[in-house]
Amino acid sequence: MSEILLDKFLDVFNRDILPLTYKGVDLGNKIFGAAIMKKEDYSLVVADTNNEIENPLWHGEMHTLKKFYEINKEMRPDEKNCIFLSSHEPCSLCLSAITFSGFDNFYYLFPYESTSDEFNIPHDLNIYRIHLIKLKKRTLIYQINISHQKKKILYL
- Piece of 93-101, 121-129, 130-138, 146-154 that binds Zn ion (CB under 5 A): 93-101
Closest CB 5 distance from Zn ion, rounded Å: 23
Work out which of 47, 83, 91, 121 binds Zn ion, going by CB under 5 A.
91
The footprint of Zn ion on this chain (CB under 5 A) covers a number of residues equal to 4
When asked if residue 94 is in the footprint of Zn ion (CB under 5 A), the reply is yes
Tell me which amino acid residue 110 is.
F
- Piece of 11-19, 53-61, 111-119, 131-139 that binds Zn ion (CB under 5 A): 53-61
Closest CB 17 distance from Zn ion, rounded Å: 15
Strands across the sheet containing 44-49:
44-49, 33-38, 82-88, 107-110
Closest CB 154 distance from Zn ion, rounded Å: 48
* Backbone torsion region of residue 78, taken as left when φ is above 0, otherwise alpha when ψ lies between -120 and 50, otherwise beta: beta
When asked if residue 20 is in the footprint of Zn ion (CB under 5 A), the reply is no
Nearer to Zn ion, 9 or 32 (CB): 32
- Piece of 46-54, 87-95, 100-108, 138-146 that binds Zn ion (CB under 5 A): 87-95
Q: By C-alpha distance, which of 137, 129, 136, 134 is closest to 112?
A: 129
Q: What does the alpha-carbon distance between residue 31 and residue 49 come to, in Å, rounded to a whole number?
A: 8
Q: What does the alpha-carbon distance between residue 51 and residue 48 come to, in Å, rounded to a whole number?
A: 9
Q: What angle do CA 43, 44, 45 make, to 5 degrees?
A: 115
- Piece of 15-23, 56-64, 72-80, 119-127 that binds Zn ion (CB under 5 A): 56-64
Helix (H, G, I), strand (E, B) or coil at 84: strand
Q: Which residues bind Zn ion (CB under 5 A)?
A: 59, 91, 93-94
